[in-house]
Structure 1
Amino acid sequence: MHLLRGLALSLLAGTSLAVPGHNVKKSADKPAKYALKEPPLTTPWTDDVGTNPWPEYPRPQMQRSQWQNLNGIWQYENASSLNDVERPPFGQNLAQEVLVPFCLESGLSGIQGDYNLYSWYSNSFKVPSDWDGQSILLNFEAVDYEATVFVNGKKVGFNRGGYFRFTVDVTEHVKCGQENELLVFVHDPTDSGDYVIPIGKQTLRQSHIFYTPCSGIWKSVWLESAPENHITRLDLDANMHGQGKLFFSRSILNVTVHTTAANTTSNVHVTVHDNGKVVKTHSGPTNQPFQFNVDSPELWSPDSPKLYQVTVKMGKDEIQSYTGFRTISKGEVEGVVRPLLNGEFIFMFGTLDQGFWPDGIYTPPTKEAMVYDLKVLKKLGFNMLRKHIKVENELFYQACDELGLLVIQDMPALRPLQSTTNPSTCVSTTILPDPQQQAEFSRQLELLVNQHKSFPSIATWIIYNEGWGQITSYYPEFGLTAMVKQLDPTRLVDSTTGWFDHGAGDFSDNHHYSDPQCGTPFYSTDSSPFDPTRIGFQGEFGGLGNNVSIEHLWNNQASINTINQTYEIDATLAAWNYRSHILLSELQNQVRLFSCCGGVWTQTTDVEGEVNGLMTYDRRLQRFDEGQWKSDIQGLYNAAAARSNATTSTP
């Protein structure tokens, strides 16, 4: 453990860590032109990306009218150590062009590199003259892992955390109507050395269930203008209130408008719209919560994903947002603790959704491609997905809101399932966070909740997956669960999905492959025994594999060699669908007989060396028999409805 602590301290001190085989390239007179690198596998959208990717406004719940998208062709150059941040290449061309926002390991970035621990990005931008006198805000939706930002020769910001949005106020450093130089230094250690940081399933040493990492800028970058005192965060919680199923005499909208003037109070005006028609207006104070009633709104659910538009005005600042009225809770129904949506038991059934793409790695090639996956799930009858140890761009959650897909959102896991060996004793110990690294995990968990708690579709937060990065000498999940509940009392918390369950949180969550063990009195050593005082849930099961021809596989021999590690390989699609039917029927029996409240099927798509998706990694082949799967999924909802004396509902 002292080695981990020492490395963390050396990081803070700026000590260099050399990368074998990687040297800083001399700045070129002209950067090498961008060209798509042929990835090991493409998708139907690979060739549609072009050089102006992701043109959509990136922050759908806090939109401003004056903005400028900075996605597109930037310049890139490899660096060799942390010390390089002290030598910014101001006024120079970098070695080659790169397509932002695709991570450096992806073919779409034009780099398709590996071991990208240290990197420089550069770009230039022109601020419109009519933004003069306003605050100029530079927004990054995500940079993995640490970003140091320079504008016109000055260091203007630093951010740590590879999954979360950050904003730099560059007002004092830009010149309106002129070109401005932007440089970003990125350090992404992933799982090099003894680093213990949130990385999900990224690894520098890919092997079956651990995949190609994502380094650098991998979500959208944009500029916007706002008044000096402007809105920095908008928290919306639209809850139902009353009795009934679809319409209620009164619902409550809870609002907190955070501003740059955090220690003062201003008046803010909130208007709720329904397709242009004003539903309610209300005024309240900034920087503190307030609430008001909305008469008879239609509630949001997977059956009816009704959304209302929201306009927020504070002085000269105006933003557009939206919300959905719904309440997530738990309660006892017919003697079983159940998850409740709008006061009624909802059987949550979805897929393990990993969000990897062969051409963009962590970044979908286009919004259309991203939404395609969600539409496939919705078409089959799933009412939920588990976003597995990754945080998507905010347009993903908006799409779930619009389509009616509940989201169980994981916190990206700390470095998983790796160990270090003491050379003197030859004793191997699991790499776990030291106190400083644990505190950083907690800080980033807080960011996850605060930046996403206004999306109606998110129903549950997951803190730990299968013990990855979970300290077992004491039980940090209790304190983290309390923190999440304080930050967001409107949702459920699945503290430990699989493995080391000590009783924290709202779920008794079992993982079992391939067959389920959901809310049952029997269990294997793979997971924890069922606790009837909490919600019985099958956090993962299935994982049935079916190999395919090379044109649908991640064409990397090391990954192909791991295909036989899949839980079960079925020789034909007919056999795969038959086995899927058997497992879904078994889950249905557990809903009827025991306390099963929902489940997560592994998985939406294949990923690299895994061939157990509903679709292949390239999304070109669907394994499922649509009629059979729709019937089996509906059977789960029917069984759940019978246990709760509720009317059967099809999502």
Structure 2
Amino acid sequence: MKNKVAILLLLISTISYAQYEPAGDKIKTKWAESVNVNNVLPEYPRPVMERSQWKNLNGLWNYAIQEVGLATPLKYDGKILVPFAAESSLSGVMKEVGAANELWYETNFTVDNTWKGKDIMLHFGAVDWKADVYINDVKVGSHSGGYSPFSFNITSFITGKNQKLVVKVWDPTNDGPQPRGKQVKKPEGIWYTPVTGIWQTVWLEPVNKKYIKAVRPTADIDRNTISIATQTEGTSAGDVIEVTVMQDNKPVASGKAVAGQAVDIVLKNPKLWSPESPYLYDIKVKLLSSGKAVDEVKSYFAMRKISTKRDEQGIVRMQLNNKDYFHFGPLDQGWWPDGLYTAPSDEALKYDIVKTKELGFNMIRKHVKVEPQRWYTHCDRMGILVWQDMPSGDDNPIWQMHKYFDGNELKRTAESEAIYRKEWKEILDNLYPYPCIAVWVPFNEAWGQFKTVEIAEWTKNYDPTRLVNSASGGNHFQTADILDIHHYPDPKMPLYDARRVTVLGEYGGIGLPVEGHLWQTDRNWGYTQFKNTTETTDLYVKYAEELKKLAKAGFSAAVYTQTTDVEGEVNGFMTYDRKVDKMDFQRVNKVNKEVINSISE
């Protein structure tokens, strides 16, 4: 019997591979070669709130691209590998969709027999941009927004043994006002290929009628407390949340509160989190009804504090755990030559963070993109601070770089404003539990910038535990926590704010095209370009030596452009396919640590 099962599985696998191969002839990462269509991104997708039972729906689905407004396709065009966007090589499709068309998906799934009596949640990590979801030909819901997870309770629509799932997606790219980051219809220079459709894991999860929807930890290192807020579904009077804190796999503290109230726990001599010592506490969160556990999730938190303080020289410094701390890291776009927005594997997703640590950095600026939740857990566990940008969208107002803004901000339509506010709030809600995040960045370089003071103050009030960098690179207002200057290629301080933190939000961009590892063979772009590793590293070190002086003079953070090459940009520490390190990482590590330590010398 076992042999028959093995043969059947082998046959299914063989058929699947026969229906799929990566599309196009662009460069690829080493991880693309090991993508298994029957086991795509198999890791649990929501590590900050984990249950033991779940089912991954990634894999080969049917797809069709057809004009907007047409009915469900009678015939599909072929197979697409979910969760890779239709324009990507790893999807097996690599076709443009565009605002005039809709992308349709279809697949079938079964619900495990052990889930009987449970409610079934259908989760999407992210779909760009507007998704309509159907179960067995019944529309169960819609979601707009390309960077935040969403889910539907599909229990009432499950019939028989096999279930049909259909998803319709529309994405106007830069024909619409929605957040889109660097996606454009005609990629060139610093603008990249569109990303349409499902680009993060799709999965099922069984829950009871009463269950935990979200876990939101808030640390207070000054009082040695952790406050665990939860959001629940279906609870009634008398239901209780119980939290157990684990330290090195041993319970060290616990607490209870009525569902809807935060559980506040005092920790004895808590271990603090930092990039140098990224200690995390594990927790078990239970929902008790009539004294019986009806739901349980695993999560974690870190004891750390993000703040600012004026130092002895009168400079407002960023602080980590009540100590001055210089943030230094790369601009990280999070793009992949084979998967575009989606890393080909979890190992690949983690790789860029590993290399960032190898370079001696302590921070990453995640640039106009939001990553899958596992990326933030990797940052939590490895010890990297994150500046999280809001993906940009809509039109651009006038841009003023090196003075306080005195022009006219963009006037968005009511619809455009509502789209921005909704998605920004969803992003903050989604990422709040991840302690690595230190700074929120609502706007970058006037891209879609509007009502800056209002948006910055709303962000600060909504999450007072982090700093807010209201406008990275220009159109500066005296609001929130940070004045952020961009200066290419060399670091300079053309503007300084004595009342807030002053940072160099972007500089560098030293280009080195490496033959055989280019997205395109011509039109490659960088702020400066060199021909070998030595020259490139020499200039990087020269800039870092200047940065050390500027850090002592008033900069409290700096962001170098960038982690990897991206499409036509060749200014990464690594090539776009991650196969070549383009600088001497040992020399870079040494000088980077000197920059970080310069403010305490």
Q: Normalising to structure 2: TM-score of the pair?
A: 0.91
Alignment check: 8 A CA contact 1:34 1:96 kept: no
Gaps of 5+ in 2: 1-15, 289-293, 399-407
Secondary structure at the aligned position of 2:349 is classed as: helix
Alignment check: 8 A CA contact 1:211 1:608 kept: yes
The 2-side partners of 1:203 and 1:619 are apart by: 24
Q: Which amino acid aligns with 1:346?
A: Y
Q: 1:607 to 1:627 in 2, by over 3 A?
A: same
State yes or no: 1:219 paired with 2:200.
yes
Alignment check: 8 A CA contact 1:450 1:487 kept: no
Aligned position for 1:389: 368
**Deviations 1:467-502 (Å, cap 9, x if unpaired)?**
10013xxxx122212222222111100010111011
CA shift, 1:575, in A, is 1.3
State yes or no: 1:624 paired with 2:589.
no
Q: 1:265 to 1:468 in 2, by over 3 A?
A: farther
1:73 to 42, 57, 60: 60
Aligned position for 2:593: 634
Correspondence list, 1:498-537, <5 A: 498-517=473-492, 520=493, 523=494, 529-537=495-503
**Deviations 1:532-591 (Å, cap 9, x if unpaired)?**
111010000000111221x10003x6xx32x2x421112322211111111111111111
Alignment check: 8 A CA contact 2:326 2:597 kept: no
Aligned position for 2:278: 305
Q: Which amino acid aligns with 2:519?
A: W
**Deviations 1:49-84 (Å, cap 9, x if unpaired)?**
120210000000111111101011111111210x23
Q: 1:391 to 1:446 in 2, by over 3 A?
A: same
Aligned position for 1:289: 262
Correspondence list, 1:261-272, <5 A: 261=234, 266-272=239-245
Identity of aligned residues (%): 37
2:563 to 604, 613, 632: 604
CA shift, 1:115, in A, is 3.1
CA shift, 1:33, in A, is 2.5
CA shift, 1:31, in A, is 13
Secondary structure at the aligned position of 2:502 is classed as: strand
CA shift, 1:355, in A, is 0.3
Alignment check: 8 A CA contact 1:39 1:106 kept: no
The 1-side partners of 2:67 and 2:52 are apart by: 40
Alignment check: 8 A CA contact 1:136 1:226 kept: yes
CA shift, 1:172, in A, is 0.3
CA shift, 1:93, in A, is 5.4
Alignment check: 8 A CA contact 2:218 2:226 kept: yes
CA shift, 1:509, in A, is 0.7
Aligned position for 2:89: 107
State yes or no: 1:581 paired with 2:552.
no
2:355 to 361, 369, 376: 376
2:554 to 592, 595, 607: 595
2:433 to 438, 451, 454: 454
The 1-side partners of 2:152 and 2:369 are apart by: 24
**Deviations 1:333-386 (Å, cap 9, x if unpaired)?**
212111111100110000000000000000001111111111111012100000
State yes or no: 1:33 paired with 2:12.
no
The 1-side partners of 2:200 and 2:238 are apart by: 33
Aligned position for 1:486: 461
The 2-side partners of 1:365 and 1:418 are apart by: 36
Alignment check: 8 A CA contact 2:98 2:173 kept: no
Secondary structure at the aligned position of 2:469 is classed as: strand
Correspondence list, 1:15-26, <5 A: none
Q: Normalising to structure 1: TM-score of the pair?
A: 0.85
Aligned position for 2:79: 97
Alignment check: 8 A CA contact 1:34 1:97 kept: yes
Aligned position for 1:122: 106
**Deviations 1:124-157 (Å, cap 9, x if unpaired)?**
1100122121110000000000000000110001
Q: 1:431 to 1:461 in 2, by over 3 A?
A: closer
The 2-side partners of 1:574 and 1:276 are apart by: 47
Alignment check: 8 A CA contact 1:127 1:175 kept: no
Q: Which amino acid aligns with 2:530?
A: D
CA shift, 1:610, in A, is 0.5
The 2-side partners of 1:430 and 1:501 are apart by: 11
The 2-side partners of 1:262 and 1:102 are apart by: 37
Alignment check: 8 A CA contact 1:104 1:116 kept: no
**Deviations 1:383-420 (Å, cap 9, x if unpaired)?**
0000000000000000000100000000101135599x
Q: Which amino acid aligns with 1:189?
A: P
Alignment check: 8 A CA contact 1:311 1:319 kept: yes
Alignment check: 8 A CA contact 1:32 1:97 kept: no
Secondary structure at the aligned position of 1:156 is classed as: strand
Correspondence list, 1:68-467, <5 A: 68-81=55-68, 83-84=69-70, 87-89=71-73, 94-117=76-99, 118-175=102-159, 178-192=161-175, 195-241=176-222, 251-261=224-234, 266-315=239-288, 316-334=294-312, 335-415=314-394, 417=396, 433-467=412-446
CA shift, 1:430, in A, is 10
Aligned position for 2:11: none
Alignment check: 8 A CA contact 2:526 2:571 kept: yes
The 1-side partners of 2:17 and 2:540 are apart by: 51
Q: 1:326 to 1:31 in 2, by over 3 A?
A: closer
Alignment check: 8 A CA contact 2:133 2:167 kept: yes
Q: Which amino acid aligns with 1:179?
A: N
State yes or no: 1:569 paired with 2:547.
no
Alignment check: 8 A CA contact 1:120 1:185 kept: yes
CA shift, 1:219, in A, is 0.2
CA shift, 1:605, in A, is 0.2
CA shift, 1:431, in A, is 7.9
The 1-side partners of 2:86 and 2:33 are apart by: 18
The 2-side partners of 1:39 and 1:443 are apart by: 38
Secondary structure at the aligned position of 2:537 is classed as: helix
The 2-side partners of 1:482 and 1:598 are apart by: 21
Q: Which amino acid aligns with 2:197?
A: G
The 2-side partners of 1:88 and 1:263 are apart by: 41
Secondary structure at the aligned position of 1:481 is classed as: helix
CA shift, 1:262, in A, is 7.3
Q: Which piece of structure 1 moves more, 482-491 or 100-109?
A: 482-491
Alignment check: 8 A CA contact 2:53 2:206 kept: yes
Aligned position for 1:48: 34
Alignment check: 8 A CA contact 2:445 2:475 kept: yes
Secondary structure at the aligned position of 2:193 is classed as: coil
CA shift, 1:432, in A, is 5.8
The 2-side partners of 1:545 and 1:413 are apart by: 25
The 2-side partners of 1:402 and 1:460 are apart by: 18
Secondary structure at the aligned position of 1:514 is classed as: coil
Secondary structure at the aligned position of 2:331 is classed as: strand
Length, aligned pairs only? 568
The 1-side partners of 2:357 and 2:165 are apart by: 41
The 2-side partners of 1:486 and 1:213 are apart by: 34
The 2-side partners of 1:271 and 1:375 are apart by: 31
Q: 1:74 to 1:570 in 2, by over 3 A?
A: same
Q: Which amino acid aligns with 1:128?
A: D
Alignment check: 8 A CA contact 1:78 1:116 kept: no
Secondary structure at the aligned position of 1:630 is classed as: helix
Secondary structure at the aligned position of 2:417 is classed as: helix
The 2-side partners of 1:36 and 1:436 are apart by: 38
Q: Which amino acid aligns with 1:554?
A: W
